[in-house]
Chain A
Amino acid sequence: MTPSFHAAVSALTYSIVRERCPACRDVSPALPNRVVRYVLDSHAHLPDFMRWPLRLATVALDGSTLPTTGRPLHLLRHEERWRRIERWRSSRLGLLRSLMRFYEGLAVLGAYGEVHGDAV
């Protein structure tokens, strides 16, 4: 029940891949896992001064659903999680939009890279 960076990244990535890349279902059940690893690896390559703020923001996002649902984002059902992601994507807060854009960009890059055999 504790917010977690890895679990949040994994949950965000799974949801984005499911919604944005239906073709992924036909490739391999392991595909979303490979995309999660790609997203985490990309995070590790970021400029050093950005890594911790991004990590903290992600954990905060994971914990933001606790007050209303009693569960962190990563433990919500996909449909409930996706509703929140959609809301954050069009949030009036630029930082929130940017965070969602970061994960969405990496997840679609990773997903379609996997589908089309672009090795990592």
Chain B
Amino acid sequence: MGTPSEERRSGGRAAEVVVVGSGPGGAVTACLLAEAGRDVLLVEEGPSLALGDTEPFSRDEMRRKYRYGGLGVALGDPSIAYAEGCCLGGGSEVNSGLYHRTPPEILERWREEHGLRDAGADDLAPHFEVCERDLSVSLLPGAAPPASLRLRDGAEQLGWRSIEVPRWYRYDADGRGRRQTMTETYLPRAVRAGCRIATSTRAHLVRRDGKRFTLRCVQGSSGRGPVETDLVAESLVVACGAVQTPALLRRSGIRRNVGRTLRFHPTVKVVARFPEPVNHLGMGVPVHQVKEFSPRISLGCAISQPPHLALAMLDHPEVLSRALADWPHHAVYYAMVRGGSGTVSPLPAFRDPLVRFGLTSDDFVDLAEGLRRLSECLLAAGAEVLYPTVRGLGPLRTASDLRRIPPALPRDATSLMTIHAFSSCPMG
């Protein structure tokens, strides 16, 4: 079996199964199919970069491993910034590696709405255990970063439930961890089982010819190269994320139930200043989350390196440079809500799909409550001052200041972002 372009020239079959996308969905699928003896070709739009090729959460990583350099935007009122991976291994290469089993209430909803049987928490437990073993899902061997502990402390003061979220990390005897991304786990296994991988290959169109699928791809760096390739396969798995999957399907004329139900977890942030240092270069990923108000609202600590702090302080320009001069005392926290719905639409004559997202008035009530709860928690943890990403709200220093948070955050003054995009191609 040759390379994909050789296949097109010969007009032969590229593989029995072509998998589009090498993130957790595509990588696990390709690996298990290859290990089951299937002839698998995995197609990935992004480049192949090793885990250590970029500094985690740096601008270099954003430029080389994220789609749009990390500057995805879902247009709406307000627009929401989102980020997604675009490299071999997909999102697993750029995210924090925090791991949750699928929540029981989601499994229950799938059962109710889609008649999905044998997929309850007990049914899936053995499968979760296999994934957790394969990915070395574990708690930190030592103390969590100070900024993360402050969130836990605040929750404890208030009697709220908080958890340390396990991560897909493998730790050595000295406690040094290595993220167990797809390029560290399932993709090498897939290759050992015979799976072939074509990187820098963008899937553009799917066509069905009788019992076979033809996938038209564009090969070249980041999908901008000029070489078009047709890959023929008996089975096709499209697993290229919540935005690109519906974009590919809709561009190919497959529209039913596709790309109309995009969900995000919109997130509002707060920068907190503490009297003692809570942050240092390379602090790593905070692991604590407050689940007292889950699933409606989750609270957590975000990556807080100085450039990220500066970005989160944009609504407080008068103190931005002063805060950054004293950055080890500051950390970024978030309140994340559910809610809203979006669409993914391919645009004629353009390569990239249009993403739109709308939030209801109730969602802004939830965001306001999330911001209030987060602020309570951080003040209880000893924060001296809080800077929310809401223009015009001003710094919050005391419990009475929290009354200034309106019942619903203002649409035109709230900066929202997300790294969670999902549900754009639901079952059924």
The answer, yes or no, to whether B79 is at the interface (CB within 8 Å) is: yes
User: How many pairs, one residue from A and one from B, have CB atoms within 8 Å of each other in the complex?
Assistant: 89
A99 to B384, CA, bound (A): 32
The answer, yes or no, to whether A23 is at the interface (CB within 8 Å) is: yes
- B residues within 8 A CB of A46? 68-69, 71
- B residues within 8 A CB of A108? 307, 310-311, 313-314, 320
Q: Are B305 and A116 in contact (CB under 8 A)?
A: yes
Contact of B59 among A21, A23, A113 (CB under 8 A): A113
- A residues within 8 A CB of B306? 112-113, 115-116, 118
- B residues within 8 A CB of A50? 73
A105 to B70, CA, bound (A): 12
A42 to B68, CA, bound (A): 8
Contact of A118 among B68, B307, B351, B412 (CB under 8 A): B307
Q: Are B69 and A41 in contact (CB under 8 A)?
A: yes
The answer, yes or no, to whether A1 is at the interface (CB within 8 Å) is: no
Q: Are A45 and B412 in contact (CB under 8 A)?
A: no
Q: Are B311 and A105 in contact (CB under 8 A)?
A: yes
The answer, yes or no, to whether A87 is at the interface (CB within 8 Å) is: no
Q: Are A47 and B314 in contact (CB under 8 A)?
A: no
Q: Are A21 and B72 in contact (CB under 8 A)?
A: no
Q: Are B314 and A105 in contact (CB under 8 A)?
A: yes
The answer, yes or no, to whether B352 is at the interface (CB within 8 Å) is: yes
The answer, yes or no, to whether A48 is at the interface (CB within 8 Å) is: yes
Residue of A with least CB distance to B322: A22
Q: Are B350 and A49 in contact (CB under 8 A)?
A: yes
Residue of A with least CB distance to B58: A118
- Tell me, rounded to whole Å, the shortest Cβ–Cβ distance linking B51 to chain A: 16
- Tell me, rounded to whole Å, the shortest Cβ–Cβ distance linking A46 to chain B: 6
The answer, yes or no, to whether A3 is at the interface (CB within 8 Å) is: no
- A residues within 8 A CB of B353? 47
A14 to B392, CA, bound (A): 25
- B residues within 8 A CB of A109? 59, 307-308, 310-311
Contact of B307 among A41, A45, A47, A113 (CB under 8 A): A113
The answer, yes or no, to whether A104 is at the interface (CB within 8 Å) is: yes
Residue of B with least CB distance to A89: B317
- A residues within 8 A CB of B412? 94
Check A45/B68 contact, CB under 8 A, given A38-B59, A105-B314. Answer: yes
A46 to B351, CA, bound (A): 11
Check A119/B307 contact, CB under 8 A, given A23-B321, A42-B69, A108-B314. Answer: no
Per-residue CB contact flags for chain A residues 77-106 toward chain B (1 = under 8 Å, else 0) read 000000000000000001000100100110
- A residues within 8 A CB of B309? 112
- B residues within 8 A CB of A47? 68, 72-73, 350, 352-353
Residue of B with least CB distance to A118: B58
The answer, yes or no, to whether A12 is at the interface (CB within 8 Å) is: no
Interface members, chain B 46-77 (any A CB < 8 Å): 55, 58-60, 63, 68-69, 71-73
- Tell me, rounded to whole Å, the shortest Cβ–Cβ distance linking B422 to chain A: 20
The answer, yes or no, to whether A110 is at the interface (CB within 8 Å) is: yes
Interface members, chain B 62-102 (any A CB < 8 Å): 63, 68-69, 71-73, 79
- A residues within 8 A CB of B79? 98
Residue of A with least CB distance to B77: A94
Contact of B63 among A19, A22, A104, A120 (CB under 8 A): A120
A68 to B398, CA, bound (A): 46
Interface members, chain A 31-46 (any B CB < 8 Å): 38, 41-42, 45-46
Q: Are A104 and B69 in contact (CB under 8 A)?
A: no
The answer, yes or no, to whether B325 is at the interface (CB within 8 Å) is: yes
A19 to B321, CA, bound (A): 9
The answer, yes or no, to whether B1 is at the interface (CB within 8 Å) is: no
Contact of B354 among A49, A98, A111, A118 (CB under 8 A): A49
- Tell me, rounded to whole Å, the shortest Cβ–Cβ distance linking A93 to chain B: 11
Q: Are B63 and A112 in contact (CB under 8 A)?
A: no
The answer, yes or no, to whether B121 is at the interface (CB within 8 Å) is: no
A104 to B310, CA, bound (A): 10
- Tell me, rounded to whole Å, the shortest Cβ–Cβ distance linking B247 to chain A: 11
The CB with the most chain B CB atoms within 10 A, among A41, A50, A108, is that of: A108
A112 to B321, CA, bound (A): 10
The answer, yes or no, to whether B402 is at the interface (CB within 8 Å) is: no
Residue of A with least CB distance to B350: A49
Interface members, chain B 386-428 (any A CB < 8 Å): 412, 415
A38 to B62, CA, bound (A): 11
Q: Are B314 and A104 in contact (CB under 8 A)?
A: yes
Closest 10 CB pairs of A and B: A45-B69, A47-B352, A108-B310, A112-B310, A113-B307, A49-B350, A112-B307, A116-B306, A112-B306, A118-B58
Using a CB–CB cutoff of 8 Å, the interface residues on chain A facing chain B are 19-23, 38, 41-42, 45-50, 94, 98, 101, 104-105, 108-113, 115-116, 118-120
Given contacts A21-B321, A46-B69, A49-B350, 8 further A-B contacts (CB under 8 A): A45-B71, A46-B68, A113-B59, A113-B306, A116-B306, A118-B60, A119-B55, A119-B60
Using a CB–CB cutoff of 8 Å, the interface residues on chain B facing chain A are 55, 58-60, 63, 68-69, 71-73, 79, 281, 305-311, 313-314, 317, 320-321, 324-325, 347, 350-354, 412, 415
